[in-house]
Structure 1
Amino acid sequence: MSEDDNLFRAFMRTLYDTIDGPVTWFKDTVVVPNQEKYPWYHKQYRRVQTIDQCYADDAVCDFEANSQFLRDKRVDSEILSILRQRYEDCMLYESPDHLTQCKSLLDRYKDAEECWFIKYGDLGANGTARKAYMKQKHRMIFEKRYGPLSDKTKK
């Protein structure tokens, strides 16, 4: 290697250390010690007030309740999807005897599906927390007047 190459490498190393040194120091001494250690997939949101606890003119509370409602809906839909996938896998694996072998999975899936529909069904794609609350209120009034809709909902 020539002397020019060594000078160029030394210059580039000095330039790199000048730019990267303060950034690395700040990251190692300030950022990393003060950041929370948790896996990104275990993020836990704090529970907020439900729509029935919000004032009528409180837009921020209404927005937070809707966000919480949509998060809960996504979680419940994912749980339902997992139960459905387990049942389908059991059906494929236990092919001729799947009606007896997978009955417990099917019952669990049907119960979860009914509960999901009671809470989120008939709300449409733009369902909000307020619409779900009104649906729940109307269902409670109906059941008070005419009795429960089915025996499974008495749980």
Structure 2
Amino acid sequence: MPEGPRNIIEQFFCSVGDVLEAPVVWVREKIVVPNQQNYPWYHQKLRRVPTIDECYTDDVVCQHEANVQYKRDKQVDTEILSILRDRFEDCTMYEAPDHLERCGPLLKKYEEAATNWFIKYGDLGAYHNAKIAYMKQKHRMIWERRHGQVGTGMKEGSPA
């Protein structure tokens, strides 16, 4: 198979494509790539700070950093959930009418992520922080130790 264009029409379209592609390649190579390497805010990677359970009760700075990290993690988890939901909705629209069969794995991933999100962030109210979420996690672990996994009913012989 020859590498170049086969006829004059294909050669014309290759030339038009090169004219349209050249400025884009130039911008990427001359502006975007150099700024990615030198610009500190481009996909900023923040260090992990101690969580709220590792902070002393009188260490306000540590507690503030834990709250900021908690809010950032919540935003990330919410966006991941939104992306999974959008993927499932797109699959449903594209694969209709047999979307239940073809989009089943996406639905399962979305439902699992939604359950995990609700376990961590659900029922906390409008104004919550890392300490409130930590207490929710602690109370859930105590409940599961006493009564079994939440949502499966109580174990036999457990106090009501």
Fold shared per TM-score above 0.5: yes
Equivalence map 1:17-36=2 (5 Å): none
Deviation for aligned residue 1:41: 4.3
Partner of residue 49, structure 2 = 48
Q: How does 1:48-87 map to 2 (within 5 A)?
A: 48-87=49-88
Measure, in 1, the Cα distance between the counterparts of 2:65 and 2:86: 31
Aligned-pair CA distance for 1:126: 1.2
Q: Hey, which bits of structure 1, 4+ residues long, moved more than 3 A?
A: 38-41
Shift of 1:38: 4.7
RMSD of Structure 2 on Structure 1 (CA): 1.5
| Displacement of 1:125 | 2.0
Aligned residues: 116
Q: For residue 96 of structure 1, give the secondary structure of its aligned residue in structure 2.
A: coil
Which structure shows the higher helix fraction?
1
Who is 2:129 aligned against? 128
Unpaired runs of 5+ residues, structure 2, are 1-36, 153-160
Structure 1 unpaired stretches of 5+: 1-35
TM-superposed CA distance for 1:103, in Å, is 0.3
2:41, 2:57 → 1: CA distance? Answer: 35
What one-letter code is carried by the residue in structure 2 that aligns with 1:45?
L
Residue 87 of structure 1 and its aligned partner are, at CA, apart by: 0.2
Cα distance in 2, alignment partners of residues 68 and 136 from structure 1: 17
Q: What's the TM-score once normalised by structure 2's chain length? A: 0.69
- Identity level (%): 62
Greater relative contact order structure (CA < 8 Å, 6+ sep): 1
